[in-house]
Amino acid sequence: MAAPFYMERTQTLAYYGYCRKSTDDSSEKQVLSLDVQKKELDVIREKNDLKVIKFFTEAKTAKEPGREEFNQMLNSIEQGKANAILCWKLDRLTRNPVDGGRIQWLLQKGVIKEIRTYERTYRSEDHTLITSVEMGMANQYSRDLRTMAFRTIRAKLASGWRPGPAPVGYININAGTHRELAPDPERFDLVKQMWELFLTGNYPVSKICSIAKNKWGFRTRTTRKGGGKPIGMSHLYKMFNDPFYYGHFLYNDPDTRTKELYKGNHKAIISKAEYDRVQVLLGRNGKPTPKTREFPFTGRMKCGECGGSITADTKDQVICTICKYKFSSNNRTACPECDTEISEMKNPTILQYTYYHCTKRKHPDCSQGSIRVEKLEEQFSQRLTALDIDPDYLNLALDYLQKKQETEVQNEKSIRQSLDKKYDDIQTRIANLNQEYTSSQNVHHELYSPDEFKQLKGGLFAQLAQVDQERKDVKKNLDKVLELSVRTFNFCAYAFQSFKTDDIQRKKEIFSSIGSNLILKDGILSIGALEPFLLIEKDLTRLRKRYERLEPTNNGFIKRKEAAFTASIPQWLPARDSNPNTILQRDVSYH
């Protein structure tokens, strides 16, 4: 009895077995391990009496071409050493169009007679559409996973969380739908002490490494991939170079593939100024991070001479501990006089100066010089002082607003009723117009011609829409005015103290809030204050001059002073129909 066709076919085929599992692809976490794949393929081989010459196994992603074992297998097939492939699933062979196209071509030409998987068999005489579709699906699945991964990463970056494993001193924690970075309860304080020791300038990295290992018994956190070992010198250098510890982090942009600096939401260990000092202390081992410096007074300030933009520069200088020579540390690792390495100096004096000046791009011949940031901050602080409202007067203002709101609610109710009546009247007029136009008295258009009717009705509908919008705006305008008023008074009460912090973004917001016409000329900052700040500033100056030269002898004096302050409040409030274009229309924190 002759053997069945499929038995004759398999007896003429020489198979190569192929097993693959990616070690760096999260989409393949559920894929069978290489050993399990091999065992499953052995079952298929024995069950169907297949001749398997050799097994090729590799742990590498198939999203990109260039797999060594895969290419070696296909090269051997092209040389005629085998003519069939045995694998667990088709996506084990390829997930990219280059390798997929090569397999399809060999299958179509009959060089590969058969590809046998756990689910089905693909033969050279089969329609190529089936193989193309399934390989295309594997490739598209890989692309979709990549797109979803990039979308997740972009969302995480935008929310201020660095993807990937936590740096030393921190741990990854689950926070509902995503993972966040939190201080490691066992190591955070020790890592902070490492930074503090280095910032003294008295401890080189080697000494800190020795203290951490031998005195503190510091060990890195144990993970599935390792850890639990003493921290090394290279790890410390990497840590001292990492902006993550001052609240930012570097990450490759998913689209441009270039490193970008992002602001993080994690708890910082040091300040930006301390990080910059560490980079100077590291000398040649301090790696500059790809960043653009942020300055609180740039962006909206203009040159008073040429109208160009105002920019800022920071200069770092070091005083050598050996020869006392002062030199710029930018692009230097040692003292230019005595060649002492910065990293070898014991607690060197580090100076940092920030200067604001015209860019001179508009007019290269602009004669304006530079001004130190301290002088600029002093001038702006004086302007904020003129707006400062102490807590007692802030409470007076807020109490006034509360009472005003209660009154305005009643006024709003009356206005709303009036508008409702007006709205109903217009609807009645529209109904009467329709009735008259269709009445027997207007058969021959004695009352209204079609054009007259259309024009009158259109006008009434326009009035109706306008009144309807006014009804909607009544409460909206009231809420907006009161909200802006509260923010204005809070700004005046807290902006001066808040401006003293090191938070550059907060300083920038305060600086942008107070004025629209910010001019720097001859070292003098001119601020065209926005209303209501201009009115508040003038009235507070007037009230201070009137009452501060008098001695508060009794409660009557204090009450008269409070009454004068309260009497000025209505003039500072924005009108109902105003639309002040200030930063106070968005939330700004002053605490």
Q: What is the 3-state secondary structure (H, E, C) of 539-580?
A: HHHHHHHHHHCCCCCCHHHHHHHHHHHHHHHHHHCCCCCCCC
What does the pLDDT look like over 537-559, one tens digit per residue? 455 555 455 545 544 555 554 55
Q: Which two tokens stand for residue 143?
A: 């692309």
User: 407, 355, 277, 350: which is closest to 523 by C-alpha?
Assistant: 355
- Tell me the C-alpha distance between 57 and 47, whole Å: 21
Rounding to the nearest 10 degrees, give the CA dihedral for residues 363, 369, 373, 375. -130
Distance, CA of 201 to CA of 207 (rounded, Å): 12
Percent of the chain with pLDDT over 90: 22
Of the candidates 48, 16, 21, which has an alpha carbon nearest to the alpha carbon of residue 37? 21
Q: What angle do CA 25, 26, 31 make, to 5 degrees?
A: 85
Q: Residue 579: which pLDDT band, with cuts at 50, 70 and 90?
A: very low
Q: Determine the pLDDT at residue 365.
A: 92
Confidence of residue 31 (pLDDT cuts 50, 70, 90): low
Question: Which tokens go with 117?
Answer: 């998987």
| The total number of residues written for the chain in this structure | 591
Q: What is the mean pLDDT of residues 246-269?
A: 83
Note the pLDDT tens digit of each residue in 317-360.
889 988 999 988 877 778 899 988 887 788 888 888 899 999 99
Provide the 3-class DSSP secondary structure of residue 207: helix
State the Rg of the chain over Cα: 38
Residues of the chain with CATH 3.90.1750.20: 170-285
More confident residue, 399 or 385: 385
Give CATH 3.40.50.1390 domain extents, the chain.
5-156
Q: What is the mean pLDDT of residues 418-422?
A: 87
Tell me, what's the pLDDT at 577?
A: 45
Contact status, residue 280 vs residue 286, Cβ threshold 8 Å: yes
Higher pLDDT residue, 409 or 206?
206
pTM of the full predicted structure? 0.43
pLDDT for position 372: 92
Separation of alpha carbons 321 and 342, rounded Å? 9
The per-residue pLDDT for range 107-119, each reduced to its tens digit, is 888 899 999 988 8
Helices and strands counted in the chain (H then E): 15, 16
Q: Which of 335, 377, 331 is nearest to 354 (CA)?
A: 377
Q: Which of 134, 48, 64, 58 is nearest to 99 (CA)?
A: 64
* CATH classification code of 170-285: 3.90.1750.20
- The answer to whether the Cα torsion of 38, 42, 48, 53 is positive or negative is positive
Per the structure block, which two tokens stand in for 489?
A: 């008074």
Q: Is 278 left (phi over 0), alpha (psi -120 to 50) or beta?
A: alpha
The arithmetic mean of pLDDT across residues 148-177, rounded, is 80
Instruction: Please check whether residue 18 is in contact with residue 34, taking contact to mean a CB–CB distance below 8 angstroms.
Output: no
User: pLDDT of 469-509, one tens digit each?
Assistant: 887 776 565 555 556 565 665 666 556 666 676 677 777 77
Give yes or no for residue 408 having a pLDDT over 70. no
Are the C-beta atoms of residues 170 and 183 closer than 8 Å to each other?
Answer: yes
Report which listed range, 217-231, 244-258, 292-306, 517-531, is most confident: 217-231
Q: Give residue for tokens 């200030």.
A: 582
CATH number of the domain at 5-156, please?
Answer: 3.40.50.1390
- For residue 341, give both structure tokens: 């390495």
Q: Which of 19-23, 106-110, 130-134, 543-547 has the lowest mean pLDDT?
A: 543-547
What is the average pLDDT value for the chain, to the nearest integer? 77
